[in-house]
């Protein structure tokens, strides 16, 4: 079925077992959009783009907050063979320009409030066509003018095949320059389809999108799978997350599933009016990006005993939900990220590519039809990452005798102190379990005696005072002495993070 592509997800016929054309597909603030309306507007947008000179294979860089136009553009490009390039709106203008150039984007779709960030790139390369979302300033083509293009016949759309390039999902670039992970219609479809199976996505599901859509998890963790199945997606705003407003939205829309990264999950659980909202509709809460503190898992389970709490692990190279753990397994192994999803084979190997025994740390490698096909215009990086048909994740982990995986951090984050390997993720997990610590990050610092020593950035609760001695004693009671950091910085400010929720460790002071 090479002709079945992402554009088919919106097609809801009267015989569809999940949803009819008139069912609500997308909700944003007080606006409800049916599958038929979303399909029609993306058709019109696709026609408008073609009339404006769009050609199959053109790349469109998207600089936009969460809003319905993001979803419309996604499907419009899927229908005419375009390639979408999500851009982190928090990037500096020079960082955006790097991705514009690296991706060879001919088009930039930009929200009016973010237009200033793209102007320097346009001054240096005025050949790009700009699509303005929101107020039209004359910088480019007004989005709504494109949508007002007569629909015409979709038979005039270019032929699109499952193996056509569709998405360049740029890595966070926490070190070095970001790379564009290439995804086809097929890899994106595989990434979504397994979620329907593994996470019991049903037509009556209401999935709330908390992350920004420019992050892979924003669109590709259950949101697309929910639309495919015929469920409803409630699109949250991508700035200024308010846990109280989130709880109100859960109650109002009867939200059934949501993804909350650990820091956001803590804020929701600590909200003073949590119990004042009806959250009984929630059936599943996913959390990942870093180890979830046991206190958060236990706190959510105590308040929502009917709700499944899953730890998940994935990456921009896909699958975005490569590992997951749920149910009884999660209660018995609160520090595990579980086992492979149904669309992936996962191994943990040593430097020679051999599987490591239980309890031994190695690198996670993955084989999946959802994995990227390479990095855009980066053959050397592609060859190093996709070796012998396996995606080398660069993430370290171990597994127990039953095959459950326990994360140990990034290979490049490893600290070697006195000749011994120390994995920051292990220390960060223990620190995060302290009742007065919100989050923590551990980095290495060169040391004349030990080679490297650990430095911990510790975020404490407001009004709490912790000192070096107290925290070090706490750690020594739970970890081997050589793993305990030698230096500590205490703050109430959150750790610096990318839009995808990863800690920017290069910004942690040592």
pLDDT digits (tens, 9 = 90+) for 63-114: 999 999 999 999 999 999 999 999 989 888 888 999 999 999 999 999 999 9
- Helical H segments across 52-157, by residue range: 68-80, 93-103, 119-124, 143-147
* pLDDT tops 80 at residue 494: yes
User: What dihedral do alpha carbons 37, 40, 45, 48 form, nearest 10°?
Assistant: -140
CATH 3.40.50.980 maps onto the chain at 6-12+30-183
Strands 390-399 and 206-209: unpaired
* pLDDT tops 70 at residue 294: yes
Buried b (16+ CB within 10 A) or exposed e, 185-210: bbbbbbbbbbbbebbebeeebbbbbb
Per-residue pLDDT reduced to its tens digit, 414-438: 787 876 778 788 899 889 989 999 9
Question: What pLDDT, on the 0 to 100 scale, is given for residue 175?
Answer: 47
pTM of the model as a whole: 0.85
Specify the CATH architecture of the domain 6-12+30-183. Answer: 3-Layer(aba) Sandwich (3.40)
CATH 3.30.300.30 maps onto the chain at 414-507
Structure tokens at 346: 């996962």
* pLDDT tops 90 at residue 174: no
User: Of 237, 242, 178, 174, which is closest to residue 502 (Cα–Cα)?
Assistant: 174
Contact 444/454 with Cβ under 8 angstroms?
yes
What is the average pLDDT across 448-464? 89
Give the C-alpha separation, 81 to 55, whole Å.
8
Specify the CATH architecture of the domain 414-507. Answer: 2-Layer Sandwich (3.30)
Give the C-alpha separation, 296 to 309, whole Å.
10
Question: What pLDDT, on the 0 to 100 scale, is given for residue 293?
Answer: 72
Greatest mean pLDDT range, 223-237, 325-339, 467-481: 223-237
Strands 415-417 and 141-142: unpaired
Give the C-alpha separation, 64 to 503, whole Å.
22
Superfamily, domain 240-410 = ANL, N-terminal domain (3.40.50.12780)
Cis peptide before 158 (omega within 30 of 0): no
- The overall average pLDDT reported for the chain is 91
DSSP-derived letter for residue 447 is E
CATH 3.40.50.12780 maps onto the chain at 240-410
Burial of 11 (0-12, 13-18, 19+ CB in 10 A): exposed
Per-residue pLDDT reduced to its tens digit, 350-399: 989 999 999 999 999 999 999 999 999 999 999 999 999 999 998 889 99
SS3 123: helix
Question: What pLDDT, on the 0 to 100 scale, is given for residue 172?
Answer: 64
Q: Helix 243-253 and helix 262-269: axis angle, to 10°?
A: 80
């Amino acid at each position: 079925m090479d002709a079945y592509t992402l554009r088919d997800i919106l097609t809801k016929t009267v015989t569809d077992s999940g949803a009819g054309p008139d069912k609500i597909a997308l909700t944003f603030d007080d606006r409800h959009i049916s599958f038929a309306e979303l399909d029609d507007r993306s058709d019109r947008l696709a026609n408008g783009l073609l009339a404006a000179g769009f050609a199959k294979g053109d790349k469109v860089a998207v600089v936009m907050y969460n809003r319905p136009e993001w979803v419309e553009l996604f499907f419009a490009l899927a229908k005419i063979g375009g390639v979408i390039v999500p851009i982190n709106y928090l990037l500096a203008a020079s960082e955006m320009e790097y991705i514009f150039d690296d991706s060879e984007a001919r088009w930039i779709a930009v929200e009016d409030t973010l237009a200033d960030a793209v102007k320097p790139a346009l001054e240096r390369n005025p050949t790009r066509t700009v699509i303005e979302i929101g107020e039209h300033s004359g910088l480019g083509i007004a989005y709504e003018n494109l949508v007002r293009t007569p629909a015409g016949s979709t038979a005039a759309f270019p032929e699109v095949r499952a193996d056509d390039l569709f998405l360049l999902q740029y890595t966070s670039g926490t070190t070095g320059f970001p790379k564009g992970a290439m995804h086809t219609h097929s890899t994106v479809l595989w990434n979504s389809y397994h979620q329907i199976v593994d996470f019991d996505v049903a037509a009556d599901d209401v999935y709330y999108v908390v992350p920004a859509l420019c992050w892979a998890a924003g669109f590709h963790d259950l949101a697309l799978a929910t639309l495919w199945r015929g469920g409803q997606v409630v699109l949250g705003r991508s700035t200024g997350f308010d846990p109280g407003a989130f709880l109100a939205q859960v109650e109002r829309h009867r939200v059934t599933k949501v993804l909350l990264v650990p820091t956001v999950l803590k804020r929701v659980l600590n909200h003073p009016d949590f119990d004042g909202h009806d959250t009984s509709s929630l059936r599943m809460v996913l959390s990942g990006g870093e180890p979830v503190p046991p206190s958060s898992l236990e706190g959510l389970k105590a308040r929502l005993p009917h709700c499944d709490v899953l730890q998940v692990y994935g990456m921009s190279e896909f699958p975005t939900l490569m590992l997951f753990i749920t149910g009884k397994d999660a209660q018995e192994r609160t520090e595990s990220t579980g086992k492979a999803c149904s669309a992936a084979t996962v191994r943990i190997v040593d430097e020679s590519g051999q599987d490591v025994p239980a309890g031994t740390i190695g690198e996670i490698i993955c084989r999946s039809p959802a994995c990227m096909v390479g990095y855009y215009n980066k053959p050397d990086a592609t060859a190093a990452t996709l070796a012998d048909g396996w995606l080398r994740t660069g993430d370290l982990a171990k597994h127990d005798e039953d095959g459950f995986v326990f994360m140990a951090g990034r290979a490049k984050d490893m600290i070697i102190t006195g000749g011994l390997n120390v994995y920051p993720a292990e220390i960060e997990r223990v620190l995060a379990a302290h009742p007065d610590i919100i989050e923590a990050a551990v980095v290495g610092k060169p040391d004349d005696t030990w080679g490297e020593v650990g430095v911990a950035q510790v975020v404490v609760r407001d009004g709490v005072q912790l000192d070096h001695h107290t925290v070090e004693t706490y750690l020594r009671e739970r970890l081997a002495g050589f793993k305990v950091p030698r230096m500590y910085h205490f703050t109430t400010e959150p750790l610096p993070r990318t839009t995808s929720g990863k800690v920017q460790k290069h910004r942690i002071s040592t």
